[in-house]
Amino acid sequence: MDAVYQALVKIVGEDYASNRPEELFTYSKDLGTSEPKFPDYVAAPKTAEEVQKIILLANKKKVPVVPLGGGMSLAGLALPLQGGIALDLKRMDQIIELNEKARYVVVEAGISNGKLTAYLHKHYPHLMHSEPGAPPAATIGGNIAIHGQGDMAHPYGFNSDMVNGMEVVLPTGEICKFGSCSIGSGWYTLHPLPDIGLFLGWNGSTGIITKISLRLFPCKKIREMDLFVVEDEGLIPDLLYELTHVGMAEDLIAFTSAIPPFMDGVHHISMNITGDTEEEMEFKRHLLLDGKLARYIQDGTGGIGAVSQDIQRPQISKSADWKKGGGFEYVGSIMPVTAYPECYRRGAEISTRHNIPYTVLGRVIGSAHAMMFSWSYAFNRADPETVRHAREALHETDSLVLELGGTIWKPAVFGQKLMMDRMDSNTLQMMKKVKNLLDPNGIMNPGNWEVNE
Amino acid sequence: MTRTAYKYNDIIHRCFRCGYCKFPTNWDDVNNCPAYARFRLESYSAGGRLWLIRAWVNGELEWTEHLAKIVYACAACKNCVEKCPLSFSDEIVNMVIAAKNEMVELGLLPAPVKSFLKNIQLHGNPYGISAKKRSQWMEGTRVETYSNQEFLYYVGCEGSYDTRAQQAARALGELLLKAGVSFGVLGKKEITDGNEVGMMGEDGLLEWVVEKNIKQFKELGVKKIITLSPHSYNAFKSIYPKFDGKFEVFHYTQILSDLMKKRKLSDLKEIQKKVTFHDPCFLGRWNKDYDSPRNVLKSLKGITLVEMERNKKGALCCGGGGGNFYTDILGGSEDSPARIRAREAADTGAEILAVACPNCLTMLEDAVKAERLDDKLIVQDISEILAI
């Protein structure tokens, strides 16, 4: 009998370890266009101590370990590129502490966004976290590990900027805490200790995040989404600049798509406005709509698309069912907001070349300090030709991001290489040193952010 | 080898595996798929199962006992159908059943599934107990055999054979008598309704069962049926019409609800208890009746009805559907759905966990014992609560 498998069974229990073809197949697949990469084992630990034991085992046996949250990155970031143990962290899903007055929650990393949202809605309806556009099964740990953003990106930035502290199992097995929790205080701040946070954006290649303290924010009682539309994409950067100046929206997204046809070439800006009273709502509406958008209406370049709509949880998986195909993947980028027009135009060209209706979206981060701009490419999972087209379109878009001065967000290995090829050599060498220092046996999600020079 | 006869080759690739299907309606947790709740590996989620089925029918994966276990772990509770945002969602459970059809065709089944189906063929029930003993449940009652009464009271396999479910079957019989309902039972002539046979993908056996039942019902002049089990209710209501077996079918809570409204069961005892109700999937998600059982409970004097966090279309299945009450694929763990459900029921502070299904009754009673909650929580069928 396989010694690694036996050891995993001993650590997590027979139900939660597998080396059977069915689990290996399941964990070999990403939801996007990535080619399957098979693990040798699957394990689903329940505690940080179990994670630690698995890491120690992996070091001893020189077996790769690939942590997995919801598996929603679409970019194959949790695929075991070199085999090993696929580590499903979703059994680590407890809410450990919520400090209402300090507005933070400590959770295990495998908790889903949906579960946390439901918990807050029920027990603390006046608090919320920044929920990403991914399906609610996406985990908190997975999302911050890839520098995700959510529906509070405009006022508060990246979700990974909202971390107050972390517990991480290092690639050599030590369980470390970062932030105020590391000195025995509460989990209320990551600062002002020395910056040794080396785990965000690394796709789990420098350690396994097991606990997170996440900032919570006021959740207002009245919530609505308003839409403003323009035909000229060139107006979007100015519009976003104007709207972020007043800072009255909770979320600002500019988007357009070829399907449905009435949206083709019409750029929508969705503005989530929230308030505790009708007076507060009216004040915010006034500043945004009357103060910043009225002149576009007056000069005939823009119009109100909709007002006072319910804010719906996005159902991004519907994008996958275009032409009943069951698949889509997108390139996300962190871009200057000024690049919106070019991002849209060049993206539409790529889509046309690959016979895929374009869908593009730019979510404002901070006071228009940047936007997460995405280009989505749907494909039919049962038609390899459409998968190939989508994959090629994704690669072309990765290159486009860099050409337009952007940074690829949660890049797949292809995109990682593109960026490392351009990266400052000293920075690259430091990444290499960090990786080698933390992970001397190279067991953590090998193939990701791997500096070969 | 590819399975070209698989009925859903044209749509099974459309599952994106986005995981909505794991949640209940209130997004409380990712464990509202009973099989995923039990095993927590992606392979056991609704999406994982569909991807595995697709790989098997495409010839990418060979059949194994483990693959069959994953497929048969589906309790057919329809939570995935309820939650999937995509337009093919109505077909999710059907896609799983169609995979079971293929496994039946090949004779490749997990041992307990094979045993279940064999027992149905030989004895008309999954337990492998002689058909002659099917009427033992009614001994000592005043329940009569069917002979042109207004209703056929169809008891079903659990109510006929399972000692715990027999108590519910008897309680319902007594209640119907008390209310003056004209009804009779089939006694030894009753055989399985076939609902689980269909859910397990044995279409040939299903056809045999359904035709045999329809023939008997028609020969006896049955027009209206009251079922103890929501599984039987679903079979008679949704499967039998496809075989020209059209009857007026009622789950017993629908009859009781009506009787109480008409004050034909007005002399029931007052019960000063806090009660929570567990929705059976084949009455709730399959047939959209969430009110009848609650109406009955609310009509009872003294009862305080409290809801579990997950209820109605968001309820967690007990894990007994699709034949799992017999095959027990989802049992054996504190993460077994019935045990999770028992804990949820206890969390409400209820003293009675009310059910309206003999499968749920046995599954949840065992779970309450396993959780050592039986000193503060008892599981009772609604018929039993009324019969107190």
Q: Are A137 and B18 an interchain contact pair (Cβ–Cβ within 8 Å)? A: yes
pLDDT tens-digit profile of A43-93? 999 999 999 999 999 999 999 999 999 999 999 999 999 999 999 999 999
Q: Are A112 and B20 an interchain contact pair (Cβ–Cβ within 8 Å)? A: no
Nearest CA in chain A to B69: A22
pLDDT tens-digit profile of B12-65? 999 999 999 999 999 999 999 999 999 999 999 999 999 999 999 999 999 999
Q: CATH number of the domain at A182, please.
A: 3.30.465.10
Of B16, B30, B48, the CB nearest to A317: B16
Topology match between the domains B113-257 and B268-387: yes
Alpha carbons A110 and A88: distance in angstroms, whole number: 8
A105 and A204 inside one domain: yes
A142 and A198 inside one domain: yes
pLDDT tens-digit profile of A106-125? 999 999 999 999 999 999 99
**Is A379 inside any structural domain?**
yes
Torsion of CA A204, A208, A212, A215, to 10 degrees: -10
Characterise A184 by phi-psi region: left (phi > 0), alpha (psi -120 to 50), beta (else): left
Q: Are A70 and B19 an interchain contact pair (Cβ–Cβ within 8 Å)? A: yes
pLDDT tens-digit profile of B115-162? 999 999 999 999 999 999 999 999 999 999 999 999 999 999 999 999
A399 and A347 inside one domain: yes
Going through chain B in order, the beta strands assigned E by DSSP cover: 151-154, 183-184, 224-227, 248-251, 274-277, 304-306, 352-355, 378-381
Of B43, B85, B333, the CB nearest to A26: B43
Going A391 to A393 to A396 to A397, the CA torsion angle's sign is negative
Going A198 to A204 to A205 to A208, the CA torsion angle's sign is positive
Listed residue (B134, B191, B201, B198) closest to B166, CA to CA: B134
Buried b (16+ CB within 10 A) or exposed e, A9-26: bebbeebbbbbbbbbbbb
Alpha carbons A294 and A286: distance in angstroms, whole number: 10
Of A26, A112, A318, the CB nearest to B51: A26
Give pLDDT, residue A312. Answer: 79
The number of distinct structural domains making up chain A is 4
Listed residue (A153, A166, A145) closest to A72, CA to CA: A145
Q: Which of A36, A65, A88 is the last residue of a domain?
A: A88
Alpha carbons B52 and B58: distance in angstroms, whole number: 10
Average pLDDT over residues A151-178: 97
Strand order in the sheet with A222-230: A302-309, A222-230, A267-275, A251-257, A359-365, A370-380, A326-335, A407-409
Q: Are B30 and A115 an interchain contact pair (Cβ–Cβ within 8 Å)? A: yes
Backbone angles phi, psi at A274, to 5 degrees: -135, 155
**Is A432 inside any structural domain?**
no
Give pLDDT, residue A226. Answer: 96
Give pLDDT, residue B387. Answer: 86
Mutation target to probe the A interface, by most A beta carbons within 10 A, among B9, B21, B41, B307 is B41
Give pLDDT, residue B179. Answer: 94
Alpha carbons B95 and B84: distance in angstroms, whole number: 14
Which residues of chain B have a CB within 8 Å of the CB of A27? 42
Alpha carbons A390 and A375: distance in angstroms, whole number: 11
Instruction: Indicate the average pLDDT of chain A.
Output: 95
Listed residue (A202, A171, A199) closest to A63, CA to CA: A171
Contact in structure between A106 and A117 (CB atoms under 8 Å): no
Average pLDDT over residues A426-447: 96
Instruction: Indicate the average pLDDT of chain B.
Output: 96
Q: Are A21 and B64 an interchain contact pair (Cβ–Cβ within 8 Å)? A: yes
Alpha carbons B328 and B38: distance in angstroms, whole number: 11
Give pLDDT, residue B164. Answer: 97
Contact in structure between A327 and A320 (CB atoms under 8 Å): yes
A116 and A183 inside one domain: yes
Contact in structure between B309 and B329 (CB atoms under 8 Å): no
pLDDT at B266 over 90: no
Collapse the DSSP code of B299 into the 3-class scheme (helix H, G, I; strand E, B; otherwise coil) and give the result. helix
pLDDT tens-digit profile of B195-239? 999 999 999 999 999 999 999 999 999 999 999 999 999 999 999
Give pLDDT, residue B268. Answer: 85
Structural domain boundaries in chain B: 12-109, 113-257, 268-387
Average pLDDT over residues B355-362: 98
Q: Which of A164, A195, A218 is the last residue of a domain?
A: A218
Percentage of chain A with pLDDT > 70? Answer: 98
Listed residue (A37, A55, A30, A5) closest to A442, CA to CA: A55
Listed in sequence order, the residues at least 6 apart from A338 whose beta carbon sits closer than 8 Å to its beta carbon are A237
pLDDT at B388 over 80: no
Q: Side chain identity at A267, as an amino acid letter?
A: H
Listed in sequence order, the residues at least 6 apart from B56 whose beta carbon sits closer than 8 Å to its beta carbon are B3, B62, B63, B67, B99
pLDDT band at A1 (very low <50, low <70, confident <90, very high): low
Torsion of CA B236, B237, B240, B243, to 10 degrees: 160
Give pLDDT, residue A314. Answer: 65
Query: In the beta sheet, which residues pair with residue A364?
Result: A371
Alpha carbons B167 and B172: distance in angstroms, whole number: 9
pLDDT band at A316 (very low <50, low <70, confident <90, very high): low
Listed residue (A164, A194, A168) closest to A102, CA to CA: A164
Listed residue (B319, B311, B378, B314) closest to B346, CA to CA: B378
Q: Are A118 and B29 an interchain contact pair (Cβ–Cβ within 8 Å)? A: yes
Listed residue (B230, B256, B248, B275) closest to B78, CA to CA: B230
Q: Are A114 and B86 an interchain contact pair (Cβ–Cβ within 8 Å)? A: no
Give pLDDT, residue A326. Answer: 86
User: CATH number of B113-257: 1.10.890, 3.40.50, 1.10.620, 3.90.550?
Assistant: 3.40.50
Nearest CA in chain B to A328: B16
pLDDT band at A22 (very low <50, low <70, confident <90, very high): very high
- Among A80-94, A190-204, B241-255, B370-384, the range scoring the smallest mean pLDDT is A190-204
The ipTM (two decimal places) reads 0.96
Contact in structure between A228 and A271 (CB atoms under 8 Å): yes
A53 and A67 inside one domain: yes
A146 and A47 inside one domain: no
Average pLDDT over residues A153-174: 97
Which residues of chain B have a CB within 8 Å of the CB of A118? 26-29
Q: Side chain identity at A415, as an amino acid letter?
A: G
A16 and A69 inside one domain: yes
Backbone angles phi, psi at B145, to 5 degrees: -75, 155
pLDDT at A197 over 80: no
pLDDT at A315 over 90: no
Which residues of chain A have a CB within 8 Å of the CB of B83? none
pLDDT at B4 over 80: yes
pLDDT at A317 over 70: no
A237 and A286 inside one domain: yes
pLDDT tens-digit profile of A131-150? 999 999 999 999 999 999 99
Contact in structure between A120 and A107 (CB atoms under 8 Å): no
Range of the domain at A78: 3-88
**Is A427 inside any structural domain?**
no
Backbone angles phi, psi at A231, to 5 degrees: -95, -30
Give pLDDT, residue B355. Answer: 98
Which residues of chain A have a CB within 8 Å of the CB of B19? 70, 72, 112, 135-137
CATH of domain B268-387: 3.40.50.10700
Counting one residue from chain A and one from chain B, the pairs whose CB atoms sit within 8 A come to 123
Q: CATH number of the domain at A34, please.
A: 3.30.43.10
Give pLDDT, residue B265. Answer: 86
Alpha carbons B385 and B381: distance in angstroms, whole number: 6
pLDDT at B267 over 90: no
* Count of beta carbons in the 10 Å neighbourhood of residue B261: 12
